[in-house]
């Protein structure tokens, strides 16, 4: 029994490597000539953008989170994290990160647009319209997508404010000491 345990311990100790994860301690056939040797990891923002394009939003969010280590929480990273959360349907988290983005960089057009999209999904139509107006103005009206978003937000604001029928009669009743009560009839 002792020899078996000792043999396992020695076998496991022999497996331990002292080199890093990108070390060239492979086993098998040598790679073809001209194969590029990878010595550095790819930028997390680039990886995240590629994953977003491939509709892998959770993986993109993980890549953006790793990018924060290299870049810090700058506007690009905050916007990317907010956009990934938006695509994952985590609207409150997306809004939080996008608001931080526009606070750091008030001229960041994509962040304003994504903030507006988030606010529309949260049924904050007036706020969304303001965000789209800001994005549209900063972009000098060059983006058709932002223009369409602004049109949608304007329509939703009008539709949501039209919920009270025009023929509804209101009655203002004095309650005393300068207090009034609005009653619907």
Q: How does pLDDT run across 153-173, given as a tens digit for each residue? A: 999 999 887 655 556 566 656
53 domain-assigned: yes
Q: What is the mean pLDDT of the chain?
A: 84
Radius of gyration of the chain (CA): 28
Domain that holds residue 82: 42-184
% of the chain surpassing 70 pLDDT: 73
Taking residues 22-28, report their average pLDDT.
66
Q: Which residue has the higher pLDDT, 9 or 183?
A: 183
Q: Which residue has the higher pLDDT, 92 or 174?
A: 92
32 domain-assigned: no
DSSP sequence for 110-142? HHHHHHHHHHHHTT-HHHHHHHHHHHHHHTTT-
Rounded Cα gap, residues 58 and 3, in angstroms: 47
- Residue bearing tokens 């932002």: 146
Q: Which residue has the higher pLDDT, 130 or 167?
A: 130
Rounded Cα gap, residues 40 and 166, in angstroms: 66
Range name among 39-43, 122-126, 152-156, 175-179 with the lowest pLDDT average: 175-179
150 domain-assigned: yes
Q: Give the pLDDT confidence score for residue 23 in this predicted structure.
A: 55
Rounded Cα gap, residues 61 and 3, in angstroms: 49
- Confidence class for position 42, pLDDT limits 50, 70, 90: confident
68 domain-assigned: yes
Task: Write down the pTM of the prediction.
Answer: 0.68
Q: Give the pLDDT confidence score for residue 84 in this predicted structure.
A: 96
- Residue bearing tokens 């916007």: 79
Q: Give the pLDDT confidence score for residue 30 in this predicted structure.
A: 83
Q: In a 3-state reduction of DSSP, which class is residue 31? A: coil
Q: Give the pLDDT confidence score for residue 41 in this predicted structure.
A: 78
78 domain-assigned: yes
Classify burial at 64, counting beta carbons within 10 Å of its beta carbon; exposed 0-12, middle 13-18, buried 19 or more. Answer: buried
Encoded tokens for 179: 């207090």
Contact predicate 100/78, CB 8 Å: yes
Per residue in 9-24, pLDDT tens?
A: 555 555 555 555 555 6
Encoded tokens for 22: 């990108």
101 domain-assigned: yes
Rounded Cα gap, residues 109 and 147, in angstroms: 12
Q: Which residue has the higher pLDDT, 29 or 56?
A: 56
How many independent structural domains does the chain possess? Answer: 1
% of the chain surpassing 90 pLDDT: 61
Q: For residue 30, give the DSSP letter.
A: P
pLDDT of 130 strictly over 90: yes
Contact predicate 146/135, CB 8 Å: yes
CATH number for position 105:
1.25.40.10
Rounded Cα gap, residues 80 and 173, in angstroms: 52
pLDDT of 54 strictly over 60: yes
């Amino acid at each position: 029994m002792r020899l078996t345990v000792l043999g396992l311990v020695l076998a496991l100790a022999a497996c331990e490597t002292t080199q890093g994860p990108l070390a060239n301690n492979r086993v098998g056939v040598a790679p073809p000539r001209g194969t590029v040797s990878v010595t550095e990891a790819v930028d997390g923002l680039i990886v995240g953008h590629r994953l977003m394009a491939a509709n892998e939003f959770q993986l993109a969010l993980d890549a953006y989170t790793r990018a924060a280590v290299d870049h810090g929480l700058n506007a690009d990273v905050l916007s990317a994290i907010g956009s990934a959360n938006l695509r994952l349907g985590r609207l409150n988290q997306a809004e939080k990160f996008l608001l931080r983005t526009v606070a750091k960089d008030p001229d960041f057009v994509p962040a304003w647009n994504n903030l507006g999209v988030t606010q529309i999904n949260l049924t904050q139509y007036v706020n969304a319209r303001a965000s789209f107006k800001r994005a549209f103005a900063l972009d000098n009206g060059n983006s058709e997508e932002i223009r369409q978003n602004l049109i949608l937000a304007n329509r939703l604001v009008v539709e949501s404010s039209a919920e009270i029928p025009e023929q509804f009669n209101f009655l203002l009743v004095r309650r005393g000491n300068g207090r009034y009560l609005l009653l619907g009839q």
